[in-house]
Amino acid sequence: METPLTPLEFARRTRRLHPEREAVTDGDQRFSYEQFFDRCDRWSSALQRLGVRPGDRVVYIAPNTHALLEGFYAVPQLGAVLVPLNYRLTPADFAYMINHCGARVVCAHSDHLEAVEGIRKELPAVELFVALEGARDGWLDYEASVASSPAAFARPPISERDLLTINYTSGTTSRPKGVMITHRNAYLNSVGTLLHFKMTCADRYLWTLPMFHANGWTFVWTVTAAGAVHVCLRKVEPRAVFERIAAERITTLCAAPTVLIGIANAPAEQRRGAPRGIRVLTAGAPPAAATIQRVEGDLGWVITQVYGLTETAPFITVCEPRPEHEMLGPEASAAVKARQGVELLTSGELLVVDPAGAEVPHDGRTMGEIVVRGNVVMQGYYDDPQATARAFEGGYFHTGDAAVVHPDGYAEIRDRFKDVIISGGENVSSVEVEGVLLRHPSVQEAAVVGVPHEKWGEAPHAFVVLKPEGSATEQELIQFLRDRLAHFKAPHGVTFLTELPKTATGKIQKYVLRGGRAGITRQ
């Protein structure tokens, strides 16, 4: 009587219970759940007639649109493997990943047809190119194909340990790696998310997070499981976010800390009238307590932090609220909410260990590496057994994140190990220094990296973006930090920028700052 654990089960249930309920909005287009799943079935039928079989790779390059969302159902229910790529990458990046995963089909949004067209000769294994919008010669018209295809197709048997997606890492220090996520991984992450971040069919979810990023943190399936509404947002900027919140009566969204900073610092006329009580899930990088305090205090939204990686499907911890947290003042409460928290009920085991593999004391001071094992951990890196073996050394997945554990068992990331600054033999957490910098009233964004120093070997250096109305000098910010931190943690210099270099998922590219790469625009 066992049935495989797969997010496709969420589609079956929601289609049965909520066929007439609104499922997806994308600009002027609106689909009920019955209409949405009918479109998915028709695209599955079209792909099957075109020769797509179980195990085949199907690449998508698109912003947050209904067509991309449909791909998260239409491709897996054929037993094929979805490969959603970061659409902000270069054509050379696309070529590498399409060839590496062995894709037979490439589906692209109109914004990216030219990029793919330019590399077609470099993609010998690709047999079908699909234009999700803006069809042209040599490309299959997605909408026409969906409209003309029957809804019936042959459903293959699917095991919960079958590959569901391949998600490529950012590849900031080496070639991107293809993270293999199974149906079981995604199902259990979605269930765990709903246990700790409850949603119902009354919720309306705004897609401020890229769907390609770790499968939209599995919200491509989690929202459907709840029978809630997917509200697509193709370009994430504060004005568009607040306009869509008002027009679509949004109740919940996900956002990386950099997106939260943009929302918190949006002009008052954009934020005016924004409803209070919106629930926000944040992850992707440790958010500063000051950012949490501002969003909750100024907007009246409720923030929950989760932590994970693409390799963990992605969530492994949640900063679970406790009754005693309600007794804290705003600043202390924000400091607790800035922690990564405790294991999700479904994620498995998390430890913070020293170099010998022993668990560090829960004293809030001793740093170690976060290692995990459990139901949400990836199957491995596609076609890279050596990287897989390194990542799973000792029977745990090694995250590369440096953290402490507080006496209450809540983990708190202090840095990526590669970003820990060792100055005069002392460890300096860039995350800690950044968090204090963001408490300065004129600072909008901050990043701290280690730079070579003749005496100390390495010293902290801060890169700062000031608020449009803000004003601060280098010496003022250094003194601000020296007044609040041990002096060895204070930066020896400050560079003012108009913006920080970021990945498409909002992570600050510290390797660019360390390397003094071209493209950094100083204020």
Q: Please, what are the domains in the chain?
A: 27-182 (3.40.50.980), 423-515 (3.30.300.30)
Q: Work out whether the CA dihedral 284, 290, 291, 292 comes out positive or negative.
A: positive
d(CA 199, CA 251): 10
Question: Cα separation of 151 and 424, whole Å?
Answer: 67
Q: Is the pLDDT of residue 517 over 50?
A: no
Q: What pLDDT, on the 0 to 100 scale, is given for residue 520? A: 53
- Segments in 438-509 forming alpha helices (H): 474-482
Phi, psi of 239 (to 5 degrees): -60, -45
Let me know: does 362 contact 405? Beta carbons within 8 Å. yes
Lowest mean pLDDT among 108-122, 327-341, 385-399: 327-341
Report the candidate in 344, 399, 12 with the shortest Cα–Cα distance to residue 194.
Answer: 344
3-class state of residue 157 by DSSP: coil
Interval 455-470 mean pLDDT: 90
d(CA 78, CA 69): 15
Res 173: pLDDT: 52
Angle between helices 183-196 and 219-226 (to 10 degrees): 60
At residue 284, does pLDDT exceed 80?
no
Residue-wise pLDDT for 88-100, tens only, equals 888 999 999 999 9
Average of per-residue pLDDT values in the chain: 93
3-state secondary structure (DSSP) of residue 375: coil
With bands split at pLDDT 50, 70 and 90, how would you rate the model's confidence at 518? very low
**φ/ψ (deg, to 5) at 267:** -55, 150
pLDDT tens-digit readout, 170-192: 755 568 899 999 999 999 999 99
Name the phi and psi angles at 346, rounded to 5. -105, 0
Residue 523's pLDDT band (cuts 50, 70, 90): low
